[in-house]
Copies of this chain bind each other. A is one copy, B any other.
């Protein structure tokens, strides 16, 4: 009997009809990504409400040879959650489990569908904090952040999502439910680290359903400073020095060109005058007199010019506007072509200085903003000017990054957008190993088959 049932019948029986959404008006928002560059279509959006329901969905997909695209807040930037080949979308936002904070262990267990901002709010009353933060915090979900090993502004101090992930629950491509260290043991040296493997696998090995997250102390004091430098070289050298300061939790780089675009957008003047060639936004957090510690650290930096320091929330937000405004200012000018790259420490400054000319050669008259997480060697190159489908600028930037020994994706992942670059980045041996791992955990290739692996 089962053999004549369709996939839709199976999932309707598993989830109930109202959680199998086929109305195109309702599925449309799931078929386009946050950048509006990737458009697809889907026969159905499934909304499982429990891990067991996800397992039933994956098992049904195996039986009927149906490809699945898992989706959380749909805030990815590389097309990794868009049903480009007509896959079925699995919307995980109903997995909204939010366990009590385990203060003694400094951990919390949350469902894949919980937005980042909800985690932040949930752990704050226990005087704890979740170490990952990023601009899309209201929409981005924990499951998606685990699947993509999300980064953000505090990686320089606390590492990306993979470092915060103590344990994971997932439905593998086999349909089996994997529960890996959800008890949150700090040390468990018994075999392969499956949480670390699933983190960053972009939905290609299975579907994350819940995560056990590490928490850090909630800082009592936070201070931020905008620091000017005569040259990008000086700023990058300063970023490297600041990484060694235990209280420093964010080190963001901006250049005069980018600040000019943001100043136009914000209709404000840069708070450092004359506008320096390069600016670092440095945030420090902890106990005691963090403001003084930050001031001392900044004053000791060779090449540091003027600095604007603030330790109240409103003042910090005004300083951060200059960094976060880059993204919006670029978007206000047109379609933004984004390259999210890491350079080796010694090659970062030269790359930041060379990028605008490199873009100008490929796409004359474009506007280029180079900014980002200088403490990690990670910068975002945003280019406005080329047509939406013209990949030539990003290709040229990524090729230059590879030549210099860098990475074509620092934190956004591979998705569909960077798939063609994976072998050049990681080498044939690594990609062959990844394919073997994918075949073992997703033998029928039903989990995000269009993503990551070329």
Chain A interface residues (CB < 8 Å from chain B):
102, 104-106, 148-149, 151, 155, 160, 162-163, 172, 174, 176-180, 183-194, 196-197, 199-201, 217, 240, 243-244, 246, 286, 342, 344-346, 373, 376-378, 405-414, 418, 421-422, 425-427, 429-437, 439-441, 452-453
Residues of B within 8 A of A187 (CB): 151, 155, 160, 342, 373, 376-378, 407, 410-411
Instruction: Select A149's contact among B155, B189, B439, beta carbons within 8 Å.
Output: B189
Across the interface, do B197 and A286 meet the contact criterion of CB distance under 8 Å? no
Residues of B within 8 A of A176 (CB): 429, 432
Shortest A109–chain B CB gap in Å is: 13
Across the interface, do A196 and B162 meet the contact criterion of CB distance under 8 Å? yes
Residues of B within 8 A of A418 (CB): 190
Residues of B within 8 A of A200 (CB): 189, 191-193
A286 to B104, CA, bound (A): 25
Across the interface, do B172 and A429 meet the contact criterion of CB distance under 8 Å? yes
Across the interface, do A407 and B190 meet the contact criterion of CB distance under 8 Å? yes
Shortest A94–chain B CB gap in Å is: 23
Across the interface, do B426 and A191 meet the contact criterion of CB distance under 8 Å? yes
Residues of B within 8 A of A377 (CB): 185-187
Across the interface, do A104 and B162 meet the contact criterion of CB distance under 8 Å? no
Which residue on B lies nearest to A237, using beta carbons?
Answer: B104
Residues of B within 8 A of A433 (CB): 172, 178, 192, 194, 440-441
Q: What are the 6 tightest A-B residue pairs by CB atom distance, in nearest-first order? A: A436-B440, A196-B196, A188-B407, A187-B410, A105-B345, A176-B429
Which residue on B lies nearest to A427, using beta carbons?
Answer: B179
Across the interface, do A429 and B178 meet the contact criterion of CB distance under 8 Å? yes
Shortest A332–chain B CB gap in Å is: 27
Residues of B within 8 A of A437 (CB): 192, 197, 436-437, 440-441
Residues of B within 8 A of A373 (CB): 187
Across the interface, do B177 and A429 meet the contact criterion of CB distance under 8 Å? yes
Which residue on B lies nearest to A431, using beta carbons?
Answer: B191
